[in-house]
Amino acid sequence: MKASVIILSHNQKEVIQACLSSLSRQRLCEGDQYEVVVIDNGSIDGTGEMIGRLTYDFPIRYNYIPSTEQSSRAAARNKGITISNGDVIVFLDGDQLAGPDFIYEHLRVHKLAEGKLVIGFRRYLGEESIDITSLNPGWVHAAITSSEADERFQLMERFSENGSVFRTAWHLSFSCNFSVNREVLIRSGMFDEGFKGWGLEDSELGYRLQQAGGTFVLNKKALTFHIFHPSEFDENRYDGWKTNLDYFLECHPMFEVQAQSILKEFFDPEIRKSWWDCYIRFEKVVRAHQGYEGDRLPVSIIVVYAEGPELIQTISAEAAHREVLVIDKTPSSDLDILCQCINEKFDVLYYKHPSEDQLIDLYHQYAVRGIVKHEIFK
């Protein structure tokens, strides 16, 4: 299988070089390959000349787009899609460092669950956490120990590591780390170029893909590291986000799209409530609107130490009648993906190696609702 990694660039020469360097340290399965497509949105800092001097063990396609009033992130990514030739498109922002398993983990999902929409995650590097100009073999460990987790990790702890549990997963399909089958993407119409400035063009694409029958897989192993730069959440960005939200709603006048207005309290620099609090309310409001009752009923709990041929069948059979809490204690397996492919009436609440405190909280939470079955696979 081949991946095309699409990266946008605008006057970020040193950062882009670090990003490309991180992509040279990828672990792949035999027979897999990848290309990198850099779309330069009108840089004037010598980005093209710098890329022309680089030599890596993967092909780089560099495409320069002059900056005009019609320029947009959506148009640039669409250009990258059309000139790529991979089976899977992986979107990556230029201010990210790709972990060594980044491409491997995206392709792992697409092999196990063809046609799924894969959401990867990121950690935020501190201002001086690592030297991005010289990534040595131990850089990932250093980065993890000196970085802050993506807010979406908290959402997984709160709700599940299963993407189908989220009624708003489409909003979480951030183009800094997201992948989709190329043919599916092209059939969808790709990014809507009516979005200008910053924000929501990726979530709107996720929404259309979901409306067309796509389902999301969360893969916290598909990890990137966001290179530090000062926050840009000012009044101008907020105004642009609101304009794009209005356009989003004009295209899709649906309740769940309008419910994104709750997030204004995060983006508004005069309010700046936590993204976490706003998103919890957004998810709960959409759940209530959709009328899901499964989270009020007793649950089944399945603890897995070793996979067996009947495991997925057992989980599916339980999920036909009630929510299932799956605690994955296997050292290494594909259960994190396979549980997200179960399509039954009720949710599969999946957790991989939860901490002791988290495990205690989970048992307390579900004991209140009632536990119908507690089964252990060894």
Looking up residue 133, the CATH number of its domain turns out to be: 3.90.550.10
Look at the chain and report how many structural domains it folds into: 3
The DSSP 8-state label assigned to residue 71 in this structure reads -
* Radius of gyration, CA atoms only, the chain: 21
Structural tokens at position 213? 């029958």
Locus of tokens 């990514």: 77
Dihedral class, residue 370 (left if φ above 0, else alpha if ψ from -120 to 50, else beta): left
Distance of CA 34 to the CA centre of its chain: 19
Q: How far apart are CA 282 and CA 285, in angstroms?
A: 5
Q: Are 103 and 90 in contact (CB under 8 A)?
A: yes
Q: Regarding predicted confidence, which is higher, 305 or 197?
A: 305
Q: Residues with Cβ < 8 Å from 341, sequence gap 6 or more? A: 112, 113, 116, 217
Q: Do 80 and 216 lie in a common domain?
A: yes
Q: How far apart are CA 277 and CA 137, in angstroms?
A: 37
Q: Do 278 and 358 lie in a common domain?
A: no
What pLDDT is stored for residue 12 in this prediction? 86
Which of 258, 290, 322 is the last residue before a domain boundary? 290
What pLDDT is stored for residue 282 in this prediction? 98
Q: Do 249 and 299 lie in a common domain?
A: no
Q: Do 11 and 152 lie in a common domain?
A: yes
Locus of tokens 């000012």: 234
Name the residue range of residue 175's domain: 2-226
Q: Tell if the pTM clears 0.85, that is, is over it.
A: yes
Q: What angle do CA 77, 81, 84 make, to 5 degrees?
A: 130
Q: Which amino acid is at 296?
A: R
| Closest of 105, 96, 104 to residue 123, by C-alpha | 96
Q: Residues with Cβ < 8 Å from 42, sequence gap 6 or more? A: 10, 64, 65, 66, 67, 71
Q: Do 72 and 161 lie in a common domain?
A: yes
254 — phi, psi (to 5°)? -115, 155
What pLDDT is stored for residue 284 in this prediction? 96
Residues in the chain: 378
Query: Above 90 in pLDDT, residue 259?
Result: yes
pLDDT per residue as tens digits for the range 118-171: 999 999 998 776 776 667 767 787 788 878 988 999 999 999 999 999 999 999
Structural tokens at position 342? 């179960």
Q: Do 318 and 189 lie in a common domain?
A: no
pLDDT (mean) for 194-216: 95
pLDDT per residue as tens digits for the range 87-101: 999 999 999 999 999
